[in-house]
Structure formats: C-alpha cells, structure tokens
Amino acid sequence: MGDRLPDSPDFATDRAALLAGLGRILPASRLYGELEDLKPYECDGLTAYRNLPLAVALPETEAEVQSILKFCSANQVPVVPRGAATGLSGGAMPHHQGLLLSLAKFKKILKVNPVARTALVQPGVRNLAVSEAAAPYNLYYAPDPSSQIACTIGGNVSENSGGVHCLKYGLTVHNVLQVRGYTMEGEPVTIGSAGLDAAGLDLLAVMNGSEGMLTVITEVLVKLTPKPQVAKVVLAYFDSVTKAGNAVADVIAAGIIPAGLEMMDKAATHAVEPYVQAGYDLEAEAVLLCESDGTPEEVEEEIAAMRAVLEKSGATSLRVSANEAERLRFWAGRKAAFPAVGRITPDYLCMDGTIPRKNLAKMLLAIADMEKKYGLRCANVFHAGDGNLHPLIMYDANQPGELERATAFGAEILELSVALGGSITGEHGVGVEKITQMCAQFTPEELALFHGLKAAFDPAGLLNPGKAVPTPARCREYRQIRGEQA
Amino acid sequence: MQTQLADFIKDTPEGREADAILRTCVHCGFCTATCPTYQLLGDELDGPRGRIYLIKQVLEGGPVTERTRLHLDRCLTCRSCETTCPSGVKYHRLLDIGRQVVEENVPRGGLEALTRLALKEVLPRPWLFNPAVAVGKVLKPFLPSALGDKIPEAAGAPAKPRPTAVRQRKVLALAGCVQPGLAPNINAAAARVLDRLGIQMIEEEKAGCCGALRFHLNAQEAALDDMRRNIDAWWPHVEAGAEAILMTASGCGAHVKEYGLLLKDDPLYAAKAARIADLTQDAAELVMAQKDALLPLLAHRPAAGRKVAFHSPCTLQHGQKIRGVVEELLEAAGFTLTPVADSHLCCGSAGTYSILQPVLSKQLRDNKLSALTAGLPEVIATANIGCLTHLQSGLGSPSSRPSIAGVRHWIELLEDQLTAPETDSAAGTVA
C-alpha cells in the first residue's frame, strides 16, 4: 500500500548518476544503493506505508549535507530527510525516485547553558538525552513524546511533537528558540534567535511542524525548564470510558492545569501491564493519569483539588503515587503503550485526531461502534488533557483486506474529529498517512497558501515532495466522492 | 509486521519461530536508543530494528551477501534491545536463526574462516587454551593488538584453597572453559562463600564449555553436542539431589538457562535439558537466596567502605534479567557503589566479539571504562569472565593506574570481606 507518492510530481533520477555524484562526497560505507541495504530504510514507524529510495546517504558533517543538497538540487533529485524514523505518519517514508538523507549521525550535544537555560544540540540527539545532559543542572527538556527514549530533536521540530506534559509546558514550538539548517539549494539558514523574540515575521513557528519540507535541520537551540521540586500522579479508575472522558472535561473546567492528563482504556492497560508491572487495576474500563508538579505545598493543594473533582466525576477508585519510582512506573506504562500493543496484535495504526475535550465521551462511543462496523479492535490511549486522541486500530497485515479496513476505520475517526470541531492531527504530523483528510480540514484556498509557503523555501519542490499538503487534484477527487456519498 | 516467509524455511520449526517473533515487532524503534552499535554508528542497519528487517529479507528469500552478514556480525548479542522492547520481541532467537541462514548462504573465506575455526576449537578446550595463553604472554609484544590485548596482564588473583568439608547440601558448579585458566580464584571464592553458608560446591570434571561459544560462532550443531555432554555429566548429580547448578560466569548462565529451549526438539534430551535449565542459577541468585544466613556472617566484619564500580554484564542484566542483586549484596557486605552512567550498555567483550570486531569493541570498552571510573572507585567488580578480562585489558598496566586495583568478580570481593579479620569495635559489640 502507498508504494508510490501520488501527490509528488515525477522525477527522472538516474540511480547510477546519483550514486556516482554522491560517491564524490561520501565514502562507500556511508552511501547505500543496493536493494539489500535499502530495504530496512523503506519506512519509518508507520510500516503500512513503504517505499524504496534510490539511495541512502549518511553524512556526518554540515559540509557534507550542504554538498549533497547542492548536488541533488542541481540534478533535480528529491530528498527526504530522516531522523530516528520513529514517526507515525510516514513523514520520513522515502521517495522512490529520490535520496533518503539520514541525520542520525548528528548526535552531539554541543552545549548546555545552565544560566540561559538552553541546550544547543544536533538534530540526531535523542529527546531523552537532552534531559539527561541537563539533569546535573536540575533542568530538563519539557516536551516528552512517548517515544522520547528514541525519537530525535530534528524530528521533534519537524513534527512539532507534543507529549504527556505538553498540556502545561507546551509543544515543541514553545520550547525551541532557534533552528539552523540548509535549504534544498544548499543555502545556510538560521531561523529564530537565542532571545525570546526577534525582528521580522515569526518564521520559527513555521519550522515547527514543517515535516521536512522547508529545510534540512542541522542544529537546534532548545529551552530547558527547571525540574519541579515535587511531582505526583493520581491514578483514577472508571467503570466506563464515557465517565472517564467527562472527568477530563471536569478537571479542566475546574480551572486545574495538570502537568499531564492522560487516559488509557482497558485494552491498553492489559497490553502494557505485562511489560511495566505498574500495578494498574486491570478490571477498570479506563484509567486517567493526572499529574501535579511544583512546590510541595502547591502539589498537595492541587492533588486534593484533583481528587475532589475526579471523585465527583465518578471515579471508582483513586491512587496517588507514593514516591518518585512509583510515579515513573505509572508513566512508563503510558509511554510504552503503543509498542506494548504489539503484544496483543501483529500490527496497528495509530491515529492522532484532536477534538474539544467536551466531545471525548461522544468520540469514544463512536469508536466503539466503528469497532463493530469494521470488525477490528481498537485500544484507546490519549493525551486527554488537550483532547489529543491516539486510538490504536489493531489489524493483521498478513490477512488480506485487514489493512484496508483499518485504514477506512482510521479515516472515519479523523473525519469525525473534524466534524466535532477538531483537527486530524495533534502532534504526529500529516505525512502520507493523513494527506487525504487534509482535504476535509482545509479549503482549496488554504491549501494553495500552504503550497505557496513551501515554494518560498523550496521553489523546485524537491524537499520531501508529496507529503503533508495534498494536490488540488486529490482534493477535487475527495470532494467528488464525498459529494456523491452525501 | 507483515511477513511472507520463503518456502525454504516457512514450514520448519525455525521458520515458524522466526515468523512469530517478526510479527511481534511493530517497528517503533525504541530498541535503537539502547543499542550500543546504533549509538556508535547511527545507521539503521546497525541497530536491532534494521537487523530484524535484514533478517526478514533473508527469510523472505531476498538477496543476501556480505553486506547483510556484516551488519549481523556487528551485533553484540547483548540483548539490551530486549530489555527496552515494549512489544516483547525475542530478538536474540531471531538473530540466531537469521545468522545461521546467512552463514549457509554467504560462507566465509581465508583468514576470517581460520580465525573463527581457531576460536571455536581452542577456547572451549582448557588443555589447548591454557598453554596457548602461556605462549601468548611470551609472544604478546609481537601479536596484533586485537589479540595481544586479550591476553590477561596477570591472570586474576591466585586461587585460595578450596574448602574440603563434605556437606549435606550440595550444588553443582560449572568450571567453564576459559575461566579456570584466566581467573582460577573465582570458583574458589564461590566455593569458600558457599562453604560458609553450609553448602558444598562440586565441579564435575566431565562437564566442559557450556556451548555458548560455538553457538554464537554459528557452529550450532557442535554447540548442541557440548550441551548434551554437559547434561550427561551433570545428570547423576541432579538425580542425587544437587540443589542447583551454579554459574559464576553470567555468559554461561544465560546460555545454560536456554538449554531447554535449544534442545526442545531433541526427543532424547528435551526433558533433561529443561530440568537442567530450571536448576541453573547465577551466583547472585544463589547467594541472595541465602541472604538470611549471609548477613550475620558479615555483621562483625569491618565496614569495608571501599568504593566499587559494578559493571553488570549484559548476560546478567539483559540475558538473565537479574538487576540490582549483585549491587545489593555488595552493599550488604559494606562496599560503597559508585554511580555508573549508561550502565545498560555493553562493554564490548561479548564473547569472541572483542577479537572479531576489534574496532567497535575497543570503542565500547573505552566508553565503559570512562563511565566506570568516573566515580573514582578503588576496584571494578563484574560477574562474567569475558567482561572481566576485556575491561582489565583496557586499564593498562598497574603502574599506569595506581588508584584502581583492577577488575574482579564480585564473589571474590564478598569472599575477601567474609574472611577479613573482625574489627575491634565489632568484636567489642559481641563481647
């Protein structure tokens, strides 16, 4: 499925010429062109969408990156940048007529500045490694995607990644000060500054979530946040997902901004418990993880307020983490939830719709109906606090037709997200996965503006073509089909 | 993950096992974060997720050349990825299966084949290995450094006398293949500690190499023969009521604990192998189980206070999933543990890896030694002979490192502590 990129124009790249050209820039050990070596690079974390690149390059220096881009630009070769390839929307899926440019060797933490509370890092540095490097100064990097052990900063910027703590501390866009990189033509660019604001238009916001379509990022200056004195998490169990969904809205309505507010349903807790042994109640239909951090007094007061709201919302039982080790264990289950679902199903599609919190319960009921309609199971794990859903649709890719059913299931969730006043993506990006649903989210005029922005950075349209923004042709077809159905 | 295994393997036991393992992997990439080679090289093909994909290609009948073999060879089999994997992928089994198919399809030639043959045939045989070490010490200045570095500076401490008491409670212990020659005091120390705990340790002479060595050099049939020989050697003791089979090298322990799995299709040995695997315990498990008897023995010893950096071998923490046990025992014995960053990473020893992949191995060793010495320990402790000699080789000569007494097995430290003279103050409290 998705073996080609229908939204990309055709390129007439000659593999031998590409390898010969890149061979003048890189040693053979860092340039792949044989099927055997290319295959493991054919997809990112979204294995349902695969595409073999013509070549893979693994540069180690900025000069190499620049030379590669200049060569590809001069020879009309599309380039797809790739970090840790943990993405779930196919943003780093290769182009079949192009080069896959891995930034995984850029893994240096260049500087941690405890006074300015910043860290200057290369794009291949793991998200968690930034926090580890900042820990001696009692600082950390706040955005914490569930894949933070493996995902890297370049990809975090490209997808504007969130995480369980972004409700209080913001997404990547709120925690990045400056991005350096190269345009497709090989021109160096610096966007943003070490200060909190800079003259001119705020292009830094554009870089966050640009899905590798505007520049190749080679250096990022991130903000560091002081570690809270205390953090505690409340586990609240519910006998129905509807009650849990409504409890989320109640917490926010009570004026509380938890440091994290997450939900897992029964299918999810059953998948993760064997891995983390967090001691989740496996009988409950849903569990909310509601975190408070700050000074001991603040946390005590806030935990009491959270307990009161959650009890009133119908929690069947509550448990507060007794110590830091227990708190981390409770979170470990949530953070490992996606891959842990691999224990109960060979394959899954992870959705990323975001909806107003008041509609959580309505959405969960609709998903339960869709499970019957498509004959597939779905585990629900999500950043409840900001309404960001991650339904995990389980299927078996070895059974003919299951992937197609799973894809249709996912599309229906995304379209319902838009209908409920939400968005098709909260943090995973559009990539190839949700490109059709972009037609539901935006008007042709809005999409034309996106294309205009892309062309301002990359007039030849060579950097990650065919991703994130659909062609007008796709949307016309989409509307035609929907129109006929309606 | 979607799979379509080729006809040559899909209906074999290995094919079915591999298919089941492949289908648990969801390609999340968490494993790359804790993979020592991915962290060094930053290449998908040198991390577990990429290797799984390479093996999948091979089993699906795709092209296979030296290119695939190179990346599979670079895997340390440290199993750090298995500890990290939330989906429960049994990576090392898939690798065993994949490596065997690749080995058959892409035979090695020349010097490489010869080196592997020598390792397979010499290391498991003490009567060949011990004289070779003696000769090696003489020739060391003339050997390539990859090999020369592996010859221990000074074989570990001389063996203390073994206890002679005959006791009701008995455990069998594996002597091992290279350990008696390189560090004879380890099993002597284990016997002395167990003796104090009222347990007699027996080494059965007819047992030999546990089989891990040949198994991981893709001589899997020969390895199975090593394993059957050990089962035959131990079986009379098992029938006579030996409580456990003790492993003082965690590398051997991880392998013997898999005897049941590896011999499951051998009708003659399957049941015995499973029993042997069940009885097998690392020294840490066995001593920890006797903690109630141990603590009073340690009570009147001087608080050692010595600063120790513990390197937990991969075969202990990832292979056998024994974590924090040795650390607890050392602290109970009065040692102070220094913090060690990235303690989940391999030291680069990994069986014969240090000889076959000298460049990566040395990088990992140097990184590990910086992490181990950061807290200024007086001594480094570990639980596996391979790690012990490998780390020791990186410390250089004693004159260049006056502050570190070297690398020792933790059971030797515990034994030293048990036999240390009682302090006046401690004696005073007794009186």
CA B167: distance to chain centroid? 29
Whether the CB of A50 is below 8 Å from some CB of chain B: the reply is no
Residue A73 C-alpha, separation from nearest chain B C-alpha, in angstroms: 24
- Between B4, B29, B41, which is nearest A45 by CB? B29
Q: Worst-scoring range by mean pLDDT, A33-47, A210-224, B103-117?
A: B103-117
Sign of the Cα pseudo-torsion (A201, A206, A207, A208, in order): positive
Find tokens 């999948």 and name the residue. Answer: B56
Task: Pick B130 or A219 by higher pLDDT.
Answer: A219
Instruction: Tell me the HSE value of A214 on the side-chain side, using a 13 A CA sphere.
Output: 27
Q: Do A34 and B67 touch (CB under 8 A)?
A: yes
Nearest-angstrom CA–CA distance, A109 and A128 = 12
> Which of chain B's residues have a Cβ under 8 Å away from the Cβ of A333?
none
Question: What are A302's two structure tokens?
Answer: 């806030």
Task: For residue B57, list chain A residues with Cβ-Cβ distance below 8 A.
Answer: 36, 39-40
Please answer whether residues A49 and A68 qualify as being in contact, where contact means their C-beta atoms are separated by less than 8 angstroms: no
Closest to A277 measured CA to CA, from A331, A345, A335, A329? A329
Dist. CA B318–CA B159, nearest whole Å: 30
For B44, which of A35, A36, A41 is closest by C-beta distance? Answer: A41
User: Parallel, antiparallel, or unpaired for β A216-223 and A118-121?
Assistant: antiparallel
CA proximity to B84, closest of B43, B47, B41:
B47
Please name the helix (run of DSSP H) or strand (run of DSSP E) that holds residue A218, with its range, or none: strand A216-223
Digitized pLDDT (tens) for each residue of chain B, 431 residues in all = 889 999 999 999 999 999 999 999 999 999 999 999 999 999 999 999 999 999 999 999 999 999 999 999 999 999 999 999 999 999 999 999 999 999 999 999 888 888 888 887 777 777 767 777 767 666 666 666 666 666 655 556 789 999 999 999 999 999 988 888 889 999 999 999 999 999 999 999 999 999 998 898 888 899 999 999 999 999 999 999 999 999 999 999 999 999 999 999 999 999 999 999 999 999 999 999 999 999 999 887 776 678 999 999 999 999 999 999 999 999 999 999 999 999 999 999 998 898 899 999 999 999 999 999 999 999 999 999 999 999 998 987 666 666 788 999 999 999 999 987 765 444 434 33
Residues A237-245, mean pLDDT to the nearest whole number: 94
Partners of B54 on chain A (C-beta within 8 Å) are 36, 39-40
- Spell out the residues 6+ positions from residue B278 whose beta carbon is closer than 8 angstroms to its own: B260
Among B2, B24, B33, the residue with its CB nearest the CB of A149 is B33
How far is residue A134's CA from residue A109's CA, in Å, rounded to a whole number? 10
Identify the residue whose tokens are 């990112």.
A44
Span A405-428, average pLDDT? 93
Q: Give the residue, B137 or A10, on which the prediction is more confident.
A: A10
Any CB–CB contact under 8 A between B50 and chain A? yes
What mean pLDDT do residues A241-254 have? 93
Query: Which of chain A's residues have a Cβ under 8 Å away from the Cβ of B28?
Result: 45, 86, 147, 150, 338-339, 342
Q: Which residues pair with residue A109 across a beta bridge?
A: A121
Which residues of A are less than 8 Å from B65 in CB distance?
Answer: 36
Cβ neighbours of A398 in B, within 8 Å: 2-4, 23
Looking at residue B427, its pLDDT comes to 41
User: By C-alpha distance, which of A350, A345, A371, A364 is closest to A431?
Assistant: A350
Q: What is the CA B198 to chain-centroid distance, rounded?
A: 27
Query: Nearest-CA neighbor of B223 among B233, B232, B211?
Result: B211
| C-beta atoms of B28 and A339 within 8 A | yes
Strand stretches in A322-461, DSSP E: 347-350, 378-383, 388-395
**Nearest neighbour of B26 by CB, restricted to A105, A128, A342:** A342
Which residue, B176, B121, B144, is CA-closest to B409?
Answer: B176
Other Cβ atoms less than 10 A from the Cβ of B359: the count is: 10
Secondary structure (H, E, C), A427-438 = CCCCCCCCCCCH
3-state secondary structure of B12: coil
pLDDT at B147: 63
Say whether A45 and B43 touch across the interface (CB within 8 A): no
pLDDT of residue B117: 83
Q: Taking Cα atoms as reference points, which of A321, A324, A247 lies closest to residue A284? A: A247
How high is the ipTM of this complex? 0.94
The single residue listed with the structure tokens 């097998």 is B280
Q: What is the pTM of this model?
A: 0.92
Would an 8 Å CB–CB cutoff place A81 in contact with chain B? no
Whether A347 and B85 lie within 8 Å, measured CB to CB: no
Q: What rounded mean pLDDT belongs to chain A?
A: 94
Judging contacts by C-beta atoms under 8 Å, the chain A residues touching residue B34 are 149
**Best of A1, A39, A52 to disrupt the B interface by mutation (most B CBs within 10 Å)?**
A39
- Is residue B304 within 8 Å of residue B334, measured between CB atoms? yes
The reply to whether residue A45 touches residue B85, judged by beta carbons under 8 angstroms, is: no
How far the first Cα of chain A sits from its last, in Å, is: 27
What confidence category does residue A2 fall into, taking pLDDT thresholds of 50, 70 and 90? very low
Rounded CA Rg of chain B: 22
Contact of A158 with A220, CB cutoff 8 Å:
no
A41 has a chain B CB within 8 A of its CB? yes
Paired with B65 in beta bridges are: none
Checking if the pLDDT of A187 tops 90, the result is yes
pLDDT of residue A302: 97
- Most A-contacting residue of B25, B44, B60 (CB-CB within 10 A), to test interface: B44
State whether A102 and B42 contact (CB < 8 Å): yes
pLDDT value at position A335?
87
Nearest to B182 by CA among B225, B132, B144, B220: B132
Average pLDDT over residues A142-167: 95
Q: How far is A31 from chain B (nearest CA, A)?
A: 11
Chain B stretch 259-278, residues whose beta carbon is closer than 8 A to a beta carbon of chain A: none
Tens digits of residue pLDDT in A390-407: 999 999 999 999 999 999
Half-sphere exposure of A207 (CA within 13 A, CB side): 32
Q: How many helices (H) and strands (E) does chain B have?
A: 26, 8
Listed by number, the residues of chain A in 108-137 with a beta carbon closer than 8 Å to a beta carbon of chain B are 124, 126, 128
pLDDT of residue B430: 38
pLDDT at position A1 is 43
- CB distance A35–B63 less than 8 Å? yes
Report the gap between the CA of A322 and the closest CA in chain B (Å).
21
> Chain B within 8 Å of A340 (Cβ-Cβ)?
yes
Tell whether A206 lies on the interface with B, counting CB pairs under 8 A.
no
Strands A188-192 and A176-182: antiparallel
Q: Is the pLDDT of residue A442 over 80?
A: yes
- The confidence score (pLDDT) of residue B426 equals 43
In A, which residues are within 8 Å of B26 by CB distance? Answer: 47, 338-339, 341-342, 347-348
For the ranges A177-186, A188-197, A322-331, B122-131, the maximum mean pLDDT occurs at A177-186
Candidates A34, A151, A340; nearest CB to B87: A340
Residue B410, both tokens? 């933790």
Tell me which residue in B33, B44, B87 faces A343 most closely, judged by beta carbons. B87
Strand pairing report for A31-32 and A79-82: unpaired
Strand partners of residue B219? none
Contact A81, A157 (CB under 8 A): no
pLDDT in tens, A336-369: 888 899 889 999 999 999 999 889 889 999 999 9
Residue A485 confidence (pLDDT): 62
